[in-house]
Structure 1
Amino acid sequence: MRTKRLLTAVGLLGLSALLTSGAAFAASGDGSEGGGGNGKGDRRADAGTSFRTATAIEQGQKGTADASTGDYLYWSFPADSGQRPTVKATVKLPESASGASGAKWRIDVYDGLRRRQPCMYGMQARPAAAGPVELACTLRTVRAWSDPWAADPLPGTYYVRLTATGLRTADLGQPVTAEVEATSKDIGGSAAVDGTLGAPLVPGTERSPAEPEDGWSSGWWTSRWIWTGAGGILAALAGVGGYTLTRGRRAVSSP
């Protein structure tokens, strides 16, 4: 009985330590809401005018632009596996821009292969108005690996395009100011998959972000490690307990 109690106590202590350390590690490496507390939001970067000249911003950093209606504005940011990016944009128009022109402002997000990624939710397009136009697009969770025929989001560079559609000739050239920001929520082990890409989808241009601050696939830690370790400890305890009970019964039944 002493051996059984000792093994049980050791197992429970090991399980508690594993859960505590795992939770602390996950919290320290959590990238949810993309670096809002590191001062990046104070940095500003003007927009590019194409995929090739897209201005690189980090998650949590605001990109800005002083442009005209009819311009195509581009930014790029890195997103790693396990992250669910959300892109928000604010467009400020002059009072003369409001009215029955039928123009709409919209944001589109493309991955490193320039495939347009659909929004899970968020107001992706809104009519032009005198007040600020607020737009948002939340993508699907970035996967570490996918089949070649699938269009799943993969680790690498993502492009944000902001533009107005349905413009009349009279609407062109009006001054506007725009601001975009990309953040991410760390989904955790529920989004983990078996397999990884050979390399992230990052174009070889100087204006594109090389990698996230912690490096690519920095989110290798997931809650699956906690439950896998806990399951292993419980299985070991169950095995030892079963062996102890069986051995005790044999000792009692022996002549």
Structure 2
Amino acid sequence: MRMTRVWGAALLALGLAAGPAVADSSPSPSASGDGTAPTRAGTSFRTATEIEQGQQATASGSTGDYLYWSFPADIGQRPTVKATVKLPGNHGSQTWQVDVYDGLRRRQSCQYGAATRTVAQGAATVELACVLRTVRSWSEPWANDPLPGTYYVRLTVVDLGASDLGQPVSTEVRVDSKDIGGAAAVDGSLAKPLVPGIAVKSGEKKDGSTPAVLSSFGSDDGWSAGWWSSRWVWTAIGGVLAALAGIGGYALTRGSGRPSRVPPGA
């Protein structure tokens, strides 16, 4: 009976502690389809069009243009960038590429996905994808690890025939993230996320003009602090199970506590 109570308490503690960890590993919610998704792209890092994760952004352009979007990514997220280019009916072989840069404009490598793809003559569309590494809360200065802040998407054609240059195309870009949680947690955190212009306060100057803000993502309290992750939950679970195992082992080995009977005539 005593062991039944011990293991019942262990299972109850495990269930209560695992609840936040399971919730932490669920995918990020998609943005609501309220029709406010951007319908154009920027032409440089400074003019990149801001999109939220889960939005389906669209834009029209020409082959040879550089198209830019930006999106926020926070600690523990693994962003996936998908781009679709709808090509004109009469074109030759083309190679398209999607690149992702962080807030310091460092190109981020893709874990997997076809970030560069060549399509044959007359193909209707080309689809590209780039799955980034998990965003970390802290990194060495010399490393190229993804850190929380603004990320830039650049879409362009990198190889085509001279006759295809300038032909109209339409594009679709979408960014989604999977929350990895404590599996990728590290000690330490950034003082500020890598958001260009985060130190610039939007407001009106004396001459009536408004100072430029390179990105409006995030706020002082809109980013993860960096110290909490689900690994704290699993550490607590391990401690509880170790304590209960010690109690159970003691209960099994301590005996009844009564003196042994002395044989008659001893």
1:41: how far off? 7.6
State the distance in 1 between where 2:34 and 2:102 align: 23
Is 1:112 aligned to residue 103 of structure 2? yes
Q: 1:251 to 1:46 in 2, by over 3 A?
A: farther
Kindly state the Cα deviation for residue 35 of structure 1 after the two structures are TM-superposed: 2.9
Shift of 1:191: 0.9
CA contact (8 A) 1:58 1:209 kept: no
Give the TM-score taking structure 1 as reference length: 0.82
Could you list the runs of 5+ residues in structure 2 that have no partner in the other structure? 198-211
TM-score (norm 2): 0.79
| CA RMSD in angstroms, aligned pairs only | 3.0
- State which of 144, 153, 157 in structure 1 corresponds to 2:146: 153
- Partner AA of 2:48 in structure 1: A
Percent identity, aligned pairs only? 61
Greater percentage in helix: 1
Quickly say closer, same or farther: Cα 1:93–1:219, change in 2 above 3 A. farther
C-alpha contact 2:31 2:55 (8 A) present in aligned 1 = no
Alpha-carbon displacement from aligned partner over 1:101-136 (angstroms, at most 9, x marks no partner): x53111100011101111111111223554011111
Deviates more, 1:146-155 or 1:9-18: 9-18
Residue 48 (structure 1) aligned with residue 55 (structure 2): no
Q: CA deviation at 1:9?
A: 4.0
SS in 2 for 1:120: strand
The equivalent of 2:156 in structure 1 is 163
- Kept in 2, the 8 Å contact 1:15–1:230? The answer is yes
Query: Does the 8 Å CA contact 2:42/2:48 hold for their aligned counterparts?
Result: yes
Task: Give yes or no for contact 1:85–1:141 (8 Å, CA) kept in 2.
Answer: yes
The one-letter amino acid paired with 1:177 is S
Alignment check: 8 A CA contact 2:56 2:174 kept? yes
CA contact (8 A) 1:41 1:60 kept: no
Q: CA deviation at 1:211?
A: 2.2
CA 1:56–1:220: 2 relative to 1, 3 Å = farther
1:16 aligned counterpart, secondary structure: helix
CA distances 1:84-106 after superposition (whole Å, capped 9, x unpaired): 1111111112112x22xx53111
The SS at the match of 1:225 is: helix
Instruction: Tell me which residue corresponds to 2:237.
Output: 230
Which residue number corresponds to residue 123 of structure 1? 114
Which whole-Å CA distance do the structure 1 matches of 2:196 and 2:236 have between them? 38
Q: 1:35 to 1:5 in 2, by over 3 A?
A: closer
Say if 1:170 and 1:5 are closer, same or farther in 2 by CA, change over 3 A.
closer
Cα separation, partners in 2 of 1:168 and 1:11, compared to 1, 3 Å: closer
Structure 1 outlier segments of 4+, above 6 Å:
none
- Asked if the contact 1:40–1:62 (Cα under 8 Å) also holds between the matched residues in 2, the reply is no
Deviation, structure 1 residue 43: 2.1
C-alpha distance in 1 between matches for 2:183 and 2:98: 28
Q: Please name the residue that 2:128 is paired with.
A: 135
Whichever of the two has the greater Rg, that structure is: 2
Query: Which of 179, 191, 194 pairs up with 2:172?
Result: 179
Gaps of 5+ in 1: none
Which has the higher mean CA deviation after the structures are superposed, 198-207 or 9-18?
Answer: 9-18
Give the number of equivalent residue pairs: 245
Give the match's secondary structure for 1:134: strand
Change (3 A) 1:148 1:175: same
User: Is the CA contact 1:51–1:74 (under 8 Å) kept in the aligned structure 2?
Assistant: yes
- Deviation string 1:112-169 (CA, Å, 9 cap, x unpaired) is 1101111111111223554011111111111111111111111111100001122444
